Each structure stands twice: as C-alpha cells, then as structure tokens.
A and B are shown apart, each in its own frame.
Chain A
C-alpha cells in the first residue's frame, strides 16, 4: 500500500508532440482516483507513464517512497487491468493469474493460496481451469482483475477496463470494482472517458483536457462547481447549458431576462445552467420547444431561447407547450469568463455527502 505522487510530469513524443504537460497530483494511500477526459486528452498516456509502459520525459513519479521514473514496470509494484483484458490466450485462468507471481519466484504454496483467495473473491472458482476463450467478457475482465489482485501491489491501474462490456454488465462491474477496491484498500488510478463511470467510482476526479489538468475534486465538487466551461460541458448528462449572457447592474441578463444576482462588473459572461436546475414557470425566460428526450423517470426537453439552445429537465406528467417560460433555482447560476472559460466568483454550494 502506498500513495502516488506526480510532480510536474510531462510527456513529449519524439516528433515534438506534447501529450501530457505539467501534471502534478498527490494521491493518498487507498484513494480511488479517476482520470477522465475526451479521447486524446492524455489520460491513458499519463496512466501508462505511471505503469512504466511509456517513458516519462519531464517530472517525477513517486510510488510510495521510491521515484520510479527509471524502473521497469515489474519493479514498480503496480498491477494493471487493460481494456481488452490482455489475458494470455493459451493459459488457463489459474495460470494467467499465477504467471506474474511465478516470474517473481513466489513459493508454489503461496501462489496457490493467493489464486484461490482471488478466485473466491471474484467468484471465479469454477472457471480456474478454463481458457480465456471459453469465458464471457465479464468473466474475462474479472480474471484480469484477479491477475492484478494476486500480486498484492501498491497500486491498481485501470485503463478503461469496462469499455468492452455491454451497458448492463458495465454497471454491475462498476459496482464490483468499487466494492473490491474499498475492501482491499489499494490505491487505484482509473482511466475512463465515460463521465458517469467517473462520477460513480471516484473518490476524486481528475478532469484532463489537452494533456493538462483542468480540475481535481470530488465528484460532487466537480459537478456542482466546474472550474471551467470544458469541465461543465464534459461532466453531467445532459451537458450543462452554456449560454451567452450579460451582467448589468449586478444582475445576470439572458436574452434580456433577469436570471439572478451576480456580483460582477457589467459585461459579457458565459452563463452555465444545469438542466435539472431549470423548471417551467408562469414567467421567466421564454423558450420555443425543439424536441424531447424521454428518459422514463423524467424527460429532457430541448428548446431554443432566441438563438441559443437550452435543455431542461421536465417531469413527465407536467404538460408541455410550444412556448414555455423557464426559471432557474436560486443560487444555481454558474458564471464563466467568456474568453478564458474559467469559472468566475465563488463556488456554488456543494451538497454534503450523506454517509
């Protein structure tokens, strides 16, 4: 067990392409960190640099108390779970899990005990003598996790481990990974492009954009106080509405309609509004209906406010009309600098986690 520290880590490829730059992050022992971002944001590269599969060109990575920059992957005391499982096809489940231990010269009895323990934990007992080919996707992924567990590493690294599974299995595996990590208390670094996966798994989220950290925080912090328009549009479904608005006389005006107070000098701002913070009201921002996404428990209504798109949550039993007026819950305005996209002003209230 150990924490991981990244200090000013960067990766520049031979051609001069900068995949990751100036990433500093301190991960506490036992913490579950999720790296999230769109494809090409450098999240996998960062993970692979921690794993030792990608050379670190700038900065330092420390696992526990050791700087691991120049260590082979096998010497870093980590275990990795890959997207396509990367199981050895010609080995049985048992051999797959035991291979790493065998290479380290672990005594046979110890290997057997650890494999049995992992198999019990992952309910793989009946499949130990099968080849990966004879397993389903979910089972293969469990074997890959078993291979990581038996090594009892300082940290688990997950590289989009659920992307190859179907939607239903993904949800249940997500729960299993979380439970397993809690039980083992092993520091984990998890890469995904799925913001829902990120929100549900993470102790802390790291949102990456263009190889840089955009925001680090608990899922609720990131959701309720996105640090930039990028984070605002990436985290949460549907994406936060980002509208061009004006500040005048301490009030935020959207298409000339007063949305709420803002302690800012007059001028243009980007106004962020979560769909669930908007509701229909007798008076408010006038919108014209565009189309409706039915989600069963609720519906997301897409509408036009003058020239700007806006989406809002609407209870399925409430009536819809061609022309409606919207009002925003008090204190739920997110204001961003129009030019830099950075958040302006205090963080909105973040709800307490109910334990």
Chain B
C-alpha cells in the first residue's frame, strides 16, 4: 500500500466536485420558481417552491390528451428499463450457453458475428427496425419498445467469458449426477451467474432507462411516453405563454436520476463482485 498523500485527495475532491456540481445545481434550481430561474439563473441554494413543483410535476395532467402525468411517464420508463434489462439477460445467457456448451459447427464464427454487431449502433439499423415493427403492428406497444433492443452482443460476450471460466469438472459432475442440459443450466449455471446477472442488470437498466431516440420513433401515443421524452416536451408542450417551466424540467430531470441511482446502490456490491471476483 502506498501512503495516501494530500495531493491525491485534492484530485479526488476536484473530480467529485466536477461531477457533482451540475447535479446539485439541478436539485437546487428545481426548488425555485420558473421566474426566479429566468431572472436569476441557476441556484446553489435551496428555494421554497420545492414540494409544490415536485407534486405538480408528478401529478399534473398534461399533453394533448390531458392525462399524461410525470408518474405515468416514470412507470413507462421503468417498464422499458426493467423489461429491457431482464430480457437482455435472459436472451444473452441462453445465447452464451449455446455457444459455450454445445459443440456445433461454426460456433466461433457465430459468436464473432454476434460480437461484430457491437460495432453497429442502434441508429444504423433504426429504419429497418422501425419498418419491421410497423409491419408487425407493434408501434405504440411495450413489446415494440423493448423487443427490438433485446439482442445484446455485450451481454452475450460477458456471459460467454463467464461460462468459459466455469470449470469443466462441474459440468462433468452434473452429468454423472444425471442433470441434463436444461437442469444443468437452471440448477448450476444460473445460480452461479447471480453476481454476473446483477452486473449486467445495472448496465442494461441504465442503458434502457436512458433510451431516447427509439422511444421517440416508436411511440406517437402519449400514454407510452417515457421520462426522457417528458423532459423535452415540458419545454415544448408545457410552455406557457411567457416563460418555459425551467423548474419543472429540472424537477423531472432529478426524478429521472433517482431510479438508476437506486439500482446502482442496491446492486453495487454484487456488481463489483460480478466484474472482479471469480468465485467458483
């Protein structure tokens, strides 16, 4: 161990301040009125309008149909984030299982084909994806929002590496114990992958939560709007005749931060374990 020097602390403190300042600004500003923000700029001190603003953002009905609330947008984001993360884990675990444990021709080639899609961002295939969903009449559905994004090279890659590090003897012992392929997967591999699953869940939940472009394309029905869209639409749709509701936009942004932060806090220990420990 090295001795910790004051200089090291200084760097850490500066880094923390750099990352935290915008968050603090957003939180503090969300507790002031729109007028105050419009005239006085951003605030570093708490104001008095906080509770009122948050209550309004969460419950006020808005949009064209008049029944979209912050809460309903949050629900949509949660459904997207969780569905996305869970779906990705299930799909990529099964893909990795097939790639690692079943000897079939071109397994490596198939893996690299999957891996190559890592290089292709969603934007590249966004038109064909939209077309397919449209033909299947899945626009404006949760299925349409989630399913096209499920195939995950990253997840498959992580699980493949993890499965490869599981000793072969475990498979052999299970075979002698009379466990078939499905039983081995469910009884041995899935429980062993728990920390790995938690790690992937965090990454994928945040990724799904932050999706912006795809939901915008896929959903024209306001009932399916996510928080990310909501922030944008505050400044467009909810704009009054004079001043944009900056405070509400900030409040919504703060609310949008909470679930990912909670997920990270809850899964943090497993996350670190999953990415570092090889406990087999």
- Using CB atoms and an 8 Å cutoff, list the residues of chain A in contact with chain B: 51-53, 72-74, 78-80, 82-84, 86-90, 99-100, 103-104, 133, 147
Contact = CB atoms under 8 A, between A and B. Distances in A.
Given A89-B279, A89-B280, A90-B191, A103 B178 contact: yes
Contacts of A133: 279
B178 A104 contact: yes
Q: Is the interface of B mostly helix, strand, loop or mixed?
A: helix
B176 A103 contact: no
A86 B173 contact: yes
Contact of B172 (A53, A88, A99, A104): A53
B188 interface: yes
The 5 closest A-B pairs by CB, nearest first: A74-B178, A100-B177, A86-B169, A103-B178, A86-B173
Contacts of A100: 176-178
Contacts of B174: 88
B172 A80 contact: yes
B175 interface: yes
Interface string B160-199: 0000000101101111111100010001100110100000
A78 B176 contact: yes
Contacts, number: 59
A52 B280 CA distance: 24
10 contacts: A73-B172, A74-B176, A74-B177, A86-B167, A86-B169, A88-B170, A88-B174, A89-B192, A100-B178, A147-B177
A84 B176 contact: no
Given A74-B175, A80-B176, 8 more contacts: A53-B172, A53-B175, A88-B170, A88-B188, A90-B194, A103-B178, A147-B173, A147-B177
Contacts of A78: 176
B170 A86 contact: yes
Nearest to B193: A90
Contact of A73 (B176, B183, B192): B176
User: Taking each of B178, B188, B194, B279, which has the highest tally of chain A beta carbons within 10 Å of its own beta carbon?
Assistant: B178
A135 to B, nearest CB: 14
